[in-house]
Amino acid sequence: MKKNSSSEVSLKHSFSHWKAEKYDKALKKASSKKMEYTTISGKKIKELYTPLDLDGFDYLKQLSFPGEYPYTRGIHPTMYRGRLWTMRQFSGFGTAEDTNKRYKYLLSHGQTGLSVAFHLPTIMGFDSDHPLAQGEIGKCGVAIDSLADMEILFNEIPLDKISTSMTINAPAAVLWAMYIAVAEKQGVSPKVISGTIQNDILKEYIAQKTFIFPPEPSMKLIVDTFEYGSQEVPRWNTISISGYHIREAGSTAVQELAFTLRDGIEYVEWAQERGLDVEEFVPRLSFFFNAHNDFFEEVAKFRAARRIWAEVMKERFRAKDQRCGWLRFHTQTSGVSLMAQQPYNNVVRVAIQALAAVLGGSQSLHTNSLDETYALPSEEAVTIALRTQQIIAHESGVINCIDPLGGSYFIEKLTDEMERDAKEYIRKIDDMGGMVKAIELGFPQKEIADSAYLYQKAVEKKEKIIVGVNAYEMEHKPIPFLKIDEAVAKQHMARLHDVKKTRNNAQVGEKILDLKKAASDKQNLMPYILSCVKSYATLGEIMDSLREVYGEYQEPITY
Amino acid sequence: MTGENIRVLIAKPGLDGHDRGAKVICRSLRDAGYEVIYTGLRRTPDEIVNAAVQEDVDVVGLSILSGAHNVLFPKIMDLLKEKGADDIAVIAGGIIPDKDIPFLEKIGISKTFLPGSSTQDIADWIKENVRKRP
């Protein structure tokens, strides 16, 4: 691929000849009427890629070797030869007892890490007896109000051996404190526990919308966790900077890439402002991406993400420790790509998406279950999803060689273009004064809503085909799925009342007052939150006290 | 264009923040000529019914993906009755399993659009089934 003018001229000539004489002529005769080929994000794709598309390509500069800057081919020198990705199924439903049982089931069937899904009242920082919690208890995840629930959730699960990821954002500091407290009760030091809290509030304002406080105090709380984590819980990933939800809300692949990395930059800048040292906390930042249907676009996205982040850390933040430039990421296959129609087809979609995640170099992976357009997955469905990963790992052979798609003219060109387009967005947001400012202007929200609308229209015009939905339709056959009994709410609520009756209420009151005072004084809140949860103060009580200090965020309504 | 200024309230009950569908529908119905009002996220049954009455809408579209529809929708329907506004048509969409539809019909939800429905289907349904309230 090195530049050589005479052979390039001759290649150009042969290519034009092939295009005009062979391809165009044959296409005219072919029955295919499709005039334009685009990715699911609407990006135009050419009929063929050749060395002509990689003008000035420099292997060492753009790819280098696995484990070498800019890490395009992977952050580790051995990749899956050294260690497979972590198979981590996001899971949680009903009561803490129900979910604890599911965790033990998954671990006994070869899953290698836990990932907690909380129900919506927990995600929104409400106790289960809050009026807004009605009808929501245990539905979208497991119900957790206090340390008492958390102790049951991890009962007989050794927290020194298992790493746990928790999908929790606005109240992340509180749930993390509960986890640390459970570990201590098991006799496990915070120094050895490992896992991740999602703790990414920016993408909540942008896409998933489960925010509580306004941006400023939210960012402060997150920096508190960075600071506390780097000293007290050194093996914990204090944030998982997430593009997943941005994509699910309807963004293109480039928007997912750009907004996520710009969020990453925003967190680093806010932490620097506090006086934290990049070298100390950046290696604990992790990322989380979506794996959607368009196979090559997704692989290119993951590769571009690594290259951009490596450059951002080196050039923008002048980080010296090479670990700062390692973009470690979890991937989840795309929830919105699952279809209620002919749901067994979802198994195939998930397999293709999971393969893209693996060929893109993910460190951990969640594969969705076929029944998730209806409800949380049944045990049978989640087993197929886990088996999909195991088949890719052990049967397909794709792990034998590192970054097997590297060097493909198409993949390299796509990777370059995604990098270029994402950097353009990042520059635009820099010009607005950063991501918090851009969010206040409604910029990423509007970009995503526009993309979602365009995609929906393309589907309705059948420019994009969804098998079983706008083509190849069949009569609907219902499938069995998990139903959360309303009895769950009663059972769970009984424990909440019991906790409030049996704990030392005077002590809880004192701890809550201390927390409020610390919040007003702008201290690092982690030690105070930890001491609240240990006294069995509930999540709702803790979050309410912070609502009083910080206020609540009202988003501008745009569509 | 519908010609008779049908007013639509798109409402989000439940605690989930998934507003992709609600927003796409708001925009599509607006493009189809309806007057559209969007409540924003996490509205209680009270807030939704108050908005419907104050805005004098002809149809309410409920979008929910949290799984709480069987608890929240009956409350909304009861409140509409209480306020004498049960001539407002109510339609629904989101993550709602088809086996819940008989129950939703029983409480007075006129139509539930399952995943995969097109925005055109929804606009057409309103055109055929909703009349301007007196």
- DSSP-derived secondary structure for A503-531: S-HHHHHHHHHHHHHHHHTT---HHHHHH
Give which of A73, A65, A67 is closest to A323, Cα–Cα. Answer: A67
Biggest CA–CA distance in chain B, Å, is 36
Which residue ranges make up each domain of chain A? 59-460
- B51: which 2 tokens? 């908005």
**A139: phi then psi, degrees, rounded to nearest 5:** -80, -55
Rounded to two decimals, the ipTM of the complex is 0.91
Q: Measure the CA–CA gap between A472 and A78, rounded to whole angstroms.
A: 43
Burial class (CB in 10 A: 0-12, 13-18, 19+), A195: buried
pLDDT exceeds cutoff 90 at A117: yes
Q: Would B117 be classed as within a structural domain?
A: yes
Q: Measure the CA–CA gap between B30 and B8, rounded to whole angstroms.
A: 9
CA of B84 vs chain A CAs: smallest distance (Å): 24
Q: Measure the CA–CA gap between A513 and A1, rounded to whole angstroms.
A: 66
What is the average per-residue pLDDT within A354-371? 97
State whether residue B121 sits within 8 Å of chain A by CB.
no
At residue A468, the pLDDT reads 96
Domain CATH code at residue B32: 3.40.50.280
Q: Would B134 be classed as within a structural domain?
A: no
CA of A434 vs chain B CAs: smallest distance (Å): 24
- For residue B52, give Cα distances in angstroms to A48, A126, A249: 55, 27, 26
State whether residue B44 sits within 8 Å of chain A by CB.
yes
Q: Would B71 be classed as within a structural domain?
A: yes
State whether residue B20 sits within 8 Å of chain A by CB.
yes
Q: Contact A366/A89 with Cβ under 8 angstroms?
A: yes
| Residues paired with A285 in a beta bridge | A239
Query: Would the CB atoms of A209 and B72 count as touching at under 8 Å?
Result: no
- For residue A508, give Cα distances in angstroms to A128, A179, A531, A536: 18, 19, 9, 7
Give which of A278, A277, A125 is closest to A210, Cα–Cα. Answer: A125
At residue A249, the pLDDT reads 97
Q: Measure the CA–CA gap between A190 and B79, rounded to whole angstroms.
A: 50
List A residues 464-483 in contact with B (Cβ-Cβ < 8 A): 466, 469, 476, 478, 481
Among B20, B66, B71, the residue with its CB nearest the CB of A120 is B66
- Domain of residue B93: give its range: 7-129
Q: What is the pLDDT of residues A154-170, one digit of tens each?
A: 999 999 999 999 999 99
E runs forming strands in A346-487: 364-366
Q: What is the pLDDT of residues A201-229, one digit of tens each?
A: 999 999 999 999 999 999 999 999 999 99
Instruction: With beta carbons under 8 A apart, name residues in chain A contacting B97.
Output: 374-375, 481
pLDDT exceeds cutoff 70 at A191: yes
Enter the pTM of the model.
Answer: 0.95
| Residues paired with A418 in a beta bridge | none
pLDDT interval class at B1 (50, 70, 90):
very low
What is the average per-residue pLDDT within A309-325? 97
**A243: phi then psi, degrees, rounded to nearest 5:** -95, -15
What is the average per-residue pLDDT within B106-111? 98
State whether residue B101 sits within 8 Å of chain A by CB.
no
Among B41, B71, B118, the residue with its CB nearest the CB of A460 is B118
pLDDT exceeds cutoff 70 at A15: yes
State whether residue A555 sits within 8 Å of chain B by CB.
yes
Q: Would B65 be classed as within a structural domain?
A: yes
Instruction: With beta carbons under 8 A apart, name residues in chain A contacting B19.
Output: 209, 249
Among A124, A139, A481, the residue with its CB nearest the CB of B68 is A139
Query: Would the CB atoms of A132 and B97 count as touching at under 8 Å?
Result: no
In sequence order, which residues have a C-beta less than 8 Å from that of residue A340 and are 6 or more positions away? Answer: A373, A374, B114, B115, B116
What is the average per-residue pLDDT within A395-404? 98
- B116: which 2 tokens? 């995969």
Q: Say how many C-beta atoms besides its own lie within 10 A of residue B114's C-beta.
A: 17
- B99: which 2 tokens? 């086996």
Strand order across the beta sheet in which A114-117 lies: A90-91, A114-117, A164-167, A195-197, A236-237
Q: Measure the CA–CA gap between A77 and A361, rounded to whole angstroms.
A: 12
Q: Domain spanning A59-460: which CATH class is it, in words?
A: alpha beta
Specify the higher pLDDT residue, A247 or A557.
A247
Query: Would the CB atoms of A136 and B118 count as touching at under 8 Å?
Result: no
Instruction: With beta carbons under 8 A apart, name residues in chain B contacting A120.
Output: 14-16, 66
Instruction: With beta carbons under 8 A apart, name residues in chain B contacting A339.
Output: 115-116
Residue A77 CA to its chain's centroid (Å):
24
Using alpha carbons only, what angle is made at residue A157 by residues A156 and A158, rounded to the nearest 5 degrees?
110
Average pLDDT, whole number, for chain A?
95
Q: How many residues does this entry show for chain A? A: 559
Burial class (CB in 10 A: 0-12, 13-18, 19+), A290: buried
At residue A124, the pLDDT reads 98
pLDDT interval class at A3 (50, 70, 90):
low
Per cent of chain A over pLDDT 70 is 99
pLDDT exceeds cutoff 70 at A48: yes
Instruction: With beta carbons under 8 A apart, name residues in chain B contacting A136.
Output: 14-15, 66-68
Residue A177 CA to its chain's centroid (Å):
21
At residue A371, the pLDDT reads 94
Instruction: Give me the half-sphere count of Cα atoms (radius 13 Å) on the Cβ side of residue A122.
Output: 33
Query: Would the CB atoms of B26 and A559 count as touching at under 8 Å?
Result: yes
Q: What is the pLDDT of residues A74-97, one digit of tens each?
A: 999 999 999 999 998 889 999 999
Mutate to test the interface with A, among B10, B19, B78, B117 (most CBs of A within 10 A): B19
- A533: which 2 tokens? 């949860």
Instruction: With beta carbons under 8 A apart, name residues in chain A contacting B42.
Output: 124, 132
State whether residue B19 sits within 8 Å of chain A by CB.
yes
Q: Measure the CA–CA gap between A83 and A77, rounded to whole angstroms.
A: 11
**3-state SS assignment for residue A415:** helix
Q: Measure the CA–CA gap between A397 and A42, rounded to whole angstroms.
A: 31
Q: Would B2 be classed as within a structural domain?
A: no
Q: Would B1 be classed as within a structural domain?
A: no
- For residue B128, give Cα distances in angstroms to A498, B63, B132: 53, 21, 12
Instruction: With beta carbons under 8 A apart, name residues in chain B contacting A375.
Output: 67, 95, 97
CA of A539 vs chain B CAs: smallest distance (Å): 16
pLDDT exceeds cutoff 50 at B31: yes
Q: Between chain A and chain B, how many beta carbons pairs sit less than 8 Å apart?
A: 103
State whether residue B68 sits within 8 Å of chain A by CB.
yes
Q: How many domains does chain B have?
A: 1
List B residues 45-64 in contact with A (Cβ-Cβ < 8 A): none
State whether residue A375 sits within 8 Å of chain B by CB.
yes
State whether residue B103 sits within 8 Å of chain A by CB.
no
State whether residue B14 sits within 8 Å of chain A by CB.
yes
Instruction: With beta carbons under 8 A apart, name residues in chain B contacting A171.
Output: none
Q: What is the pLDDT of residues A410-448, one digit of tens each?
A: 999 999 999 999 999 999 999 999 999 999 999 999 999
Query: Would the CB atoms of A209 and B19 count as touching at under 8 Å?
Result: yes
Q: Measure the CA–CA gap between A460 and A468, rounded to whole angstroms.
A: 13
At residue A113, the pLDDT reads 86
Q: Measure the CA–CA gap between A539 and A329, rounded to whole angstroms.
A: 29
Tokens 């800048």 label which residue?
A269
Per cent of chain A over pLDDT 90 is 91
Among A133, A375, A459, the residue with its CB nearest the CB of B97 is A375
State whether residue A210 sits within 8 Å of chain B by CB.
yes
CA of A70 vs chain B CAs: smallest distance (Å): 35
Q: Contact A281/A226 with Cβ under 8 angstroms?
A: yes
